[in-house]
């Protein structure tokens, strides 16, 4: 029997931009502002500023990816090959900095969804996930793996990551290992999945995204005196008012 197939390149549509701004480049040299509704082709690189968040819709190549603040992501490959009885999808992304969250539909056995990081390559098969450029890989639903290049190792190590667990590269003297996913990370993935169109579990309510206050950001860029820093505005943290009058407890207690 002859196998008839149609191959084509996918694309990514910018569904939302929140909190700040983002830029896009096709050559790594010229950068242009990203706007809602823009369609990005394979090879495009998107980067968010320190307050920006971008939601991408990849259709069959995802369908959803969220770039958090200070993230740089290249859409290396977005291929779709439709044949008789099977659709083969190839999604390859390069996470150069920051963190992404995503929702991936169940794919055929021949399909591939990978996220390359500076320390290894994440392979995902139908899941809700979070990946950082530092190498952390968390799975909320589904499963995936991290092929980790440990410092000084002669060959990469393949770590299988199931739902509820996180691959952490700093464990075992930087040889990598698995831990249970922190509740805060699980919440971040849940919020992203709900807002990106993932199924909302019964009884859960999506919390709208709010960028981290700049005073709480450890590596917030420093603006020298006299220079206005429009890229990362400075917000004062909450401060206890020392003029508040102390009222001792009633009833004769000390």
* pLDDT tens digit sequence for 99-127: 999 999 988 888 999 999 999 999 998 89
pLDDT of 224 strictly over 90: no
| Residue (of 251, 252, 211) closest to 235 by Cα position | 211
Contacts of 121 (CB under 8 A, 6+ apart): 114, 115, 146, 147
pLDDT of 230 strictly over 50: no
pLDDT of 205 strictly over 50: no
**Right CATH number for 5-216 from 3.30.2130.30, 2.60.120.1440, 2.130.10.10, 2.40.30.10?**
2.60.120.1440
The whole-angstrom separation of Cα 152 and Cα 173 is 11
- Per-residue pLDDT band for 216 (boundaries 50, 70, 90) equals very low
pTM: 0.75
- Per-residue pLDDT band for 4 (boundaries 50, 70, 90) equals very low
User: What is the predicted pLDDT for the residue at 155?
Assistant: 95
User: What is the predicted pLDDT for the residue at 234?
Assistant: 44
């Amino acid at each position: 029997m002859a196998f008839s197939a149609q191959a084509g390149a996918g694309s990514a549509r910018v569904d939302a931009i929140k909190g700040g701004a983002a830029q896009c480049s096709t050559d790594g040299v010229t950068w242009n502002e990203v706007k809602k509704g823009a369609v990005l082709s394979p090879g495009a690189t998107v980067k968010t500023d320190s307050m920006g968040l971008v939601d991408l819709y990849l259709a069959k190549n995802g369908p959803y990816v969220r770039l958090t603040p200070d993230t740089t992501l290249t859409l290396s490959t977005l291929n779709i090959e439709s044949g008789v009885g099977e659709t083969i999808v190839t999604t390859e992304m390069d996470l150069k900095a920051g963190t992404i969250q995503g929702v991936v539909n169940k794919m055929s056995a021949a399909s591939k969804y990978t996220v390359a990081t500076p320390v290894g390559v994440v392979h995902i098969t139908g899941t809700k996930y979070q990946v950082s450029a530092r190498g952390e890989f968390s799975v909320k639903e589904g499963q995936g793996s991290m092929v980790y290049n440990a410092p000084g190792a002669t060959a990469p190590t393949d770590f299988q990551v199931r739902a509820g667990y996180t691959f952490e590269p700093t464990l075992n003297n930087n040889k990598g290992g698995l831990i249970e996913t922190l509740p805060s990370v699980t919440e971040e993935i849940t919020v992203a999945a709900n807002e990106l169109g993932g199924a909302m579990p019964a009884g859960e309510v999506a919390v709208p995204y709010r960028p981290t206050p700049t005073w709480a950001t450890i590596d917030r860029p420093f603006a020298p005196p006299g220079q206005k820093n429009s890229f990362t505005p400075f917000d004062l943290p909450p401060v206890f008012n020392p003029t508040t009058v102390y009222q001792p407890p009633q009833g004769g207690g000390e």
